[in-house]
Amino acid sequence: MLTGAPRGTKDLMPEESGSWRYIEGIMKRVAAAYGYGELRTPVFEHTELFQRGIGDTTDVVEKEMYTFEDRGKRSLTLRPENTASAVRAYVEHKVYGQGGTARYYYIGPMFRYDRPQAGRYREFHQFGCEVLGSGGPEVDAELILLALQILREAGLKELTLKLNSVGCPKCRPILRQKLKDFYAPKLELLCEDCRNRYERNPLRLLDCKTCAPHREGAPNILDCLCPECRRHFDGVQELLRAAAVDFVLDPTLVRGLDYYTKTAFEIQYPPLGAQSAVAGGGRYDGLVEEIGGPATLGSGFAMGIERLYLAMENQGLLPQVRPVYQVYAAAQGDQFGPAFKTVTKLRAAHIKTGLAEAGRSMKAQLKAANKAGARLVLIFGEEEAQRGQVVLKDMVTGSQREIAVSTVTNTLQSILQTEVEQDEQC
Ligand code: HAM
């Protein structure tokens, strides 16, 4: 082999992609129930979009972007997340001019040059939702409930919802100053990253795991909120309590992207260990303006599909892999031609049908049928063909009977009806 898949990327083999479709099916159904429409944006964007949108001082922009120059000397970047792109599309299509609130969901690959480990990849996939044009606490609560519904429908139980408010441009300068005053005498003790963040982004000092021992006694964000941020945050909590959702207030939850204002949240699945955040998000009331649109309120979250897959695998919640074929055909002697014709008709009727290799013994063909796991086997015998018949064997009950070749499609359709219906739901 020339070389393996690049570090931090993964192939999805057909056995796994069936489970992915199942997970994505849950996401799409829940998003539709909340009235979100699917948004598909390019996988790469102008680098400037992420520098402006996510923030120059974030790890994502400083260290993790896959940036390249195209042949026209433009600087482009593989999207590290989808919020900035969703906002760009909203502004570019002047959706704000249509009035009302836009609700988008997306599913797709994101790229971050991070140190790969269990649950952390360089190419990973997110399902996310963004609401633009509405600023009430009910929007933040709706997004949290939507995310939780997906995780619950996936079967996960031990979830922790962490909630915080990171304030707004009115109250954040006060908090920044308080944090700088608090950390000033400890600067020497902090890690290199935090020393660099001290001037530019002191809020991030709160969520550094290495420097956590020096956090004791740090100013609490929630004590610094302005009355408007306070009211908003109380409103979100009230709605969550009314919906019987448990949450933990975590004043150190500041998130790694700079666009957040007011509500910030993360949903963790602790059994995943170090990478336990299955979803994260919050409000970003200044982002549309930052990207060149009119002042518009926004809020959203994204969920890591690989992490959800790992959590479900861990709990045995992934669906059973279905056999590829529902029907398998075996043909005796010169019956391969007629068998091929019938198989083609069945496939045209969307019945998943396999055909044993031509010229092999009947024993080998039946063995292949058995291995394929198909419930029904059609045996095209020379003798039955004289009468226009074919043998239909049910591998589950072991029963077998002759049916007319001309009725094969109809007969199989009615036998498989329930199986087909179930399959379509995945
Ligand atoms: P984020 O917290 O960076 O937020 O990512 C959201 C989720 O994506 C994480 O909770 C995690 O499940 C998954 N994730 C992130 N990085 C990786 C990785 N390297 N490997 C595997 N999974 C990963 C955002 O991306 C924001 N855009 C969310 C948002 C939407 N905020 C407002 N709207």
Give the tens place of pLDDT for each residue, 44-96: 999 999 999 999 889 999 999 999 999 999 999 999 999 999 999 999 999 99
| pLDDT exceeds cutoff 70 at 272 | yes
Pocket test for ligand 1, best of 307, 309, 310 (most atoms within 8 A of CB): 307
Position 418 scores a pLDDT of: 56
Ligand 1 mean position to 114 CA, how many Å?
A: 12
Which tokens sit at 98? 């249509």
Q: For atom 17 of ligand 1, which residue has the closest CA?
A: 120
Mean pLDDT (the chain) is 94
Nearest partner of 304 among 282, 275, 279, judged by Cα: 279
Q: For atom 14 of ligand 1, which residue has the closest CA?
A: 304
Q: Which atom of ligand 1 is nearest to the CA of 120?
A: 20
Position 424 scores a pLDDT of: 44
Q: Is the CB of 281 under 6 A from ligand 1?
A: yes
Chain centre distance of CA 311: 13
User: Rounded distance, CA 188 to CA 122, Å?
Assistant: 32
Position 426 scores a pLDDT of: 41
Position 419 scores a pLDDT of: 57
Determine contact, residues 176/202, Cβ cutoff 8 Å.
Answer: yes
| pLDDT exceeds cutoff 60 at 423 | no
User: Rounded distance, CA 338 to CA 344, Å?
Assistant: 10
Ligand 1 mean position to 221 CA, how many Å?
A: 23
Position 207 scores a pLDDT of: 85
Please give the domain boundaries of the chain with CATH numbers for all domains.
14-171+225-314 (3.30.930.10), 327-425 (3.40.50.800)
Render the burial of 201-218: b for 16+ CB within 10 Å, e for the rest.
bbbbbbbbeebeebeeeb
Between CA 34 and CA 41, with CA 38 as vertex, the angle to 5 degrees is: 145
Residues in the chain: 426
Q: Is the CB of 112 under 6 A from ligand 1?
A: yes
In the predicted model, what is the mean pLDDT of residues 324-338?
95
Q: Is the CB of 207 under 6 A from ligand 1?
A: no
Q: Is the CB of 259 under 6 A from ligand 1?
A: no
User: The whole model's pTM is what?
Assistant: 0.93
User: Rounded distance, CA 18 to CA 5, Å?
Assistant: 21
Position 220 scores a pLDDT of: 92
Q: Is the CB of 55 under 6 A from ligand 1?
A: no
Q: Concatenated DSSP letters for 245-271?
A: ---EE-TT---SSTT-EEEEEEEE-GG
| pLDDT exceeds cutoff 80 at 349 | yes
Ligand 1 mean position to 297 CA, how many Å?
A: 20
Q: Is the CB of 393 under 6 A from ligand 1?
A: no
Q: Is the CB of 280 under 6 A from ligand 1?
A: yes
Determine contact, residues 321/336, Cβ cutoff 8 Å.
Answer: no
Q: Concatenated DSSP letters for 8-63?
A: T-----HHHHHHHHHHHHHHHHHHHHTTPEE----SEEEHHHHHHHH-TTSHHHHH
User: Rounded distance, CA 95 to CA 101, Å?
Assistant: 9
Determine contact, residues 80/54, Cβ cutoff 8 Å.
Answer: yes
